[in-house]
Structure 1
Amino acid sequence: SPANHVAGRKKPRGPKLDVDRVSRQEILRIDAPSGSRFKGYRSVYVRDLVLKAELVHYRRECWVTPDGKTVLAPLPTGIIGGYGANLRRLCLMLHAQGQVTTQRLTTLLNDVGIAISKRQIVRLLTRQLEGFVAEDAALLHAGLVASPYVTVDDTGARHSHNNYYTTQIGGADFTVFRTTKSKSRLNFLSLLRGGYQDYVLGDAAFDYLKERRGNPPVVHGLRTFEPQHFCNQVPFMAHLADKGVDILNRQEIGTLAEAGLWGSIRHHGLMANTVIVSDDAGQFRVGNHALCWVHTERLLQKLMPTTAKEERLVTMVRDLVWRFYKALKAYQQCPSPQSAPAFRRRFDRIFTLRTGYEALDTLLERLHRRKNELLKVLEYPGIPLHTNASENALRTFVTKRKISGGTMSQDGRVARDVMLGLMKTC
């Protein structure tokens, strides 16, 4: 019927929501045959992009005050080295978000009609980014204070012809990158300080030393009634030397420095109840730590069975692990503390299996010792079971590394970390 025909028709698309932002209006005329009647206009909205070079001549007023000082009218905000803010916005967008190299960016702008060198483009991309740097630092601080969890990972980076490492720290609402020369636990803790430079020897620091089995006589000699605060590394190391700590013992000094960093983190209210979810790299195993189930199962994939029976055993255990993983995902959707003991018993049954395949049994025994970190989701249902978010975020950095290579200056290194981090956050 006509009614059904009308009801079955596809609903026409409505008008765009940007028609109230018309930038210009043109009337298109036509030579109509003689005797035609004018019936008004028929509107068509066309979206286009205008990209053109512009050379602005600013004539700045110059005055001499009665006391002999010269005052000059200021330039508009955003002008750097004779190049305007809109040009810089385009360079930042194309380079950071569009993955355009500086060489291609130079060619593109010269073709449009802007006389600019590659060196000047590098300056626009790396200099005077203080506002972005401050925003990125505030973002990390806010994330470490308020986020219930962070996922972390790292990848290789090239800087000034040397091997560096880029560490990603991110939560549900933020992502930051930090490229440093080391990927040690000491370096990771310094990143978790959120921009602070101090060391604090307080209860949190001595709890850390107890957990890391610090040298008891040294720990006893450092403990005081009130927490001790050091503004940076120099007075902290001087204090350790005054207390008789062997400065040349790198392992002992490293553990004490880690404790001072952890004390600073807790002193500033960071990482209070934040869970760190990682792939079990040793440098990330600090604080309230949880393990990624995907990387855990990947260890089973890496086994190399030599017989059909061993292959069947590995397949059977992997199937048990994935079924348990799906059950944990269902628990996340509807957490019930009463069911947590059943999950722990099921975990024990899987990871205490003895199959006769020595490599598999050794791996299961090792994973069983990490029970608390693998079952952290039972205490904190809001945390993820994997570090896929960090893997995804680092892909952006790896793509930039493959396309543009490494960085040379400190400004370039900081600019890459900050701009990519803010882009992923947005």
Structure 2
Amino acid sequence: MVLDDLDVSRITDPEARRVLGVLLQLVESQAAQIALLKAENQRLRDENNRLKGEQGKPTILPNKRREAVDHSSEQERRAPPQAWQKAAKLPHIRIDRTEDRRLDRGSLPEDAQFKGYAEVVVQDLALRTDTVTTRKRVPGCERWYSPGLQESYQAPLPDGYHGQFGPGVAALALYLCYQANMSQAKLLELFGSVGLSMSAGHLATLLTEQPELAAEYDAIGRAALASSSYQHLDETPTRVAGVEEHCHVLDSPLATVYRTTPGKDRQAAIDVLRLGGLRCFQFNLHAWAYLAEVPLSAATRASLVAWPQGVDLDEATFIGLLAAHLPKLGEQQRRQILDAAAIGAYRAQQEVPVVETLVVDDAPQWKGITADRALCWVHEGRHYKKLDPCLAPHRQLLDDFRRDFWDYYRELAAYREHASASEAARLSLAFDSLFRRVTGYAALDERIAKTRAKKAALLRVLDHPELPLHNNPAELGARRRVRKRDASFGARSPAGIRAWDCCQTITATAQKLGVNVLHYLQDRLSGAHQLPALADLIAQRATESRSLIDSAAA
């Protein structure tokens, strides 16, 4: 463009510089508006053609694949990588058998001398069936009959064996389905290729009905909440029986917990933090603190004050009170009152540990649930990367600001390692300096003002250096669900989505704790229980971590 070489700073007349700045903003605004109108115009043309029985503009894919729009800020966030060094691999390989290989002496020259052995490690895998028959003759399950009692007795199968398939098959199926994201059709194909005969219905039952793993899932959730003062939280869509629901990912340093709910509002988030307990509502100080920020009439507040205070009410009772005492309440205010009472009940309950701080993005449903909320800097940085100025001077302003944004982020990361009151005060002032900047590019200045309004939540780390600066762990957990969703499209029933939540929680948590996922599943399904439960490992490592922190503080 002609304006790409324009340098406003070289214009000496301040009034001319101001007028030119206004004109440049107008160009940016018009360019954005034209792009929106072109898209809207094409949509209306397509709709008009459809109403006339014709077809809209066809989508013709280019021969060359178009690059995906990348709003990731990982490259700017991360420090320059260190030189890569290949790690030793052999010490971590389990040797199953040793075999000596000898040369045919006749094939060697006469002067060949023996120089010892060369150690060669070769890894291989054997997939085979291990089918056990239990016939009337030995080997089999003994059967006895008591004529007097008219009752039969039969020797039980080994631990972990139920029905036609043993724990090895079940563990492998669960691993491949929930850790390797293999579809059920491909699982059946694999089992058939190694000689295992299994119906699609039996495989579906095997993948969804594991009561012992369901108990582990509940225990992991409780241990995860107790293990840390903060939790990451994010959500991603998941289809259940063709209906869109929402998978919430609750992540901490030692566990990742999945829980799918029909909605993604504030009450759904509270349901997740309560690990699926029955909804209840309570008016108390926490509820009134939330309502202080809500525009309610004096008459409505007076009515709510007369309701039972400090007492849990079930959902039906609370909704009945709303209908009886505030029948003309608007939908938005009704929802805000429900949210306030749900927050009050959650913060007062003692059934599960109450989370002190949520590390989240700036979605509104996370606000007010916990005592503190720490916002994700990476998510905030994406807002700036989505800006797309058409003029070169504005692009340069944006690039300069984004560079300063990530420089400040790295200063916060360094503060977490060496926190001090003086450095916290300096960083707070540096935040004000950075986000009070006026660049002259209107879209960027509006975005900067929005970030400035979030100062308290973005700088929560200054008071609590243990808090992370981003919500990447929960987003990575959500990505695991997305990959599963891409392979299997969605669960077909409520039992199916519970199995997804349960097994993905176990596999993700085991991986985070450094536990071999396949070995753990085999241990649990076989009834051996030689490996410690994941919930016990979480509690143990959380205790060890607190001890280290206390020792460092002392």
TM bucket normalised to smaller: 0.7 to 0.9
Equivalent positions of 1:157-306 (< 5 A) are 157-201=238-282, 202-213=284-295, 215-224=300-309, 227-230=310-313, 232-241=314-323, 244-246=325-327, 249-269=330-350, 272=354, 274-286=356-368, 287=370, 288-306=372-390
Q: Which stretches in structure 2 are left out of the alignment for 5+ residues?
A: 1-87, 107-116, 135-140, 511-554
Q: Deviations over 1:142-196 (max 9, x none)?
A: 2223312212222222221122222211011110112222111121111111232
Instruction: Quote the offset at 1:316 in angstroms.
Output: 2.0
Identical-residue share of aligned pairs (%): 29
Instruction: Quote the offset at 1:385 in angstroms.
Output: 0.7
Contact 2:271 2:279 in 1 (8 A): no
Mapped partners of 2:322, 2:421: distance in 1: 46
Instruction: Quote the offset at 1:84 in angstroms.
Output: 1.7
Q: Does 1:349 align with 2:430?
A: no
Q: Does 1:376 align with 2:437?
A: no
Instruction: Quote the offset at 1:72 in angstroms.
Output: 5.2
TM-score, with structure 2 as normaliser: 0.65
Q: Deviations over 1:234-254 (max 9, x none)?
A: 233334445x13387432332
Instruction: Quote the offset at 1:45 in angstroms.
Output: 8.3
Specify the SS of the correspondent of 1:228: coil
Q: Does 1:365 align with 2:449?
A: yes
Contact 1:53 1:114 in 2 (8 A): yes
> What is aligned with 2:199?
117
Q: Does 1:309 align with 2:417?
A: no
Specify the SS of the correspondent of 1:170: strand
Distance of aligned partners of 1:63 and 1:32 in 2 relative to their CA distance in 1, 3 Å threshold: farther
Instruction: Quote the offset at 1:391 in angstroms.
Output: 1.9
Highest relative contact order (Cα 8 Å, sep 6+), 1 or 2?
A: 2
Instruction: Quote the offset at 1:74 in angstroms.
Output: 3.9
Q: Deviations over 1:350-378 (max 9, x none)?
A: 11122222222222112111110111110
Mapped partners of 1:211, 1:342: distance in 2: 31
Mapped partners of 1:356, 1:28: distance in 2: 76
Distance of aligned partners of 1:28 and 1:295 in 2 relative to their CA distance in 1, 3 Å threshold: closer
Q: Which amino acid aligns with 1:82?
A: Q
Mapped partners of 1:304, 1:185: distance in 2: 32
TM-score, with structure 1 as normaliser: 0.83
Distance of aligned partners of 1:87 and 1:343 in 2 relative to their CA distance in 1, 3 Å threshold: same
Contact 1:193 1:261 in 2 (8 A): no
Equivalent positions of 1:314-333 (< 5 A) are 314-333=398-417
Q: Deviations over 1:324-373 (max 9, x none)?
A: 11110110010002222221111111111222222222221121111101
Q: Which amino acid aligns with 1:161?
A: G
Q: Which stretches in structure 1 are left out of the alignment for 5+ residues?
A: 1-11, 34-41
Specify the SS of the correspondent of 1:316: helix
Mean Cα displacement is larger for which, 214-223 or 84-93?
A: 214-223
Mapped partners of 2:90, 2:337: distance in 1: 65
> What is aligned with 1:6?
none
Distance of aligned partners of 1:169 and 1:223 in 2 relative to their CA distance in 1, 3 Å threshold: same
Mean Cα displacement is larger for which, 210-219 or 363-372?
A: 210-219
Instruction: Quote the offset at 1:276 in angstroms.
Output: 1.0
Distance of aligned partners of 1:69 and 1:184 in 2 relative to their CA distance in 1, 3 Å threshold: same
Contact 2:286 2:343 in 1 (8 A): yes
Mapped partners of 1:313, 1:332: distance in 2: 29
Question: What is the aligned length?
Answer: 401
Q: Deviations over 1:206-265 (max 9, x none)?
A: 3333344554224312253xx2123x42233334445x1338743233223323322332
Distance of aligned partners of 1:53 and 1:204 in 2 relative to their CA distance in 1, 3 Å threshold: same
> What is aligned with 1:141?
222
Contact 1:209 1:219 in 2 (8 A): no
Distance of aligned partners of 1:321 and 1:48 in 2 relative to their CA distance in 1, 3 Å threshold: closer
Contact 2:227 2:254 in 1 (8 A): no
Mapped partners of 1:241, 1:64: distance in 2: 66
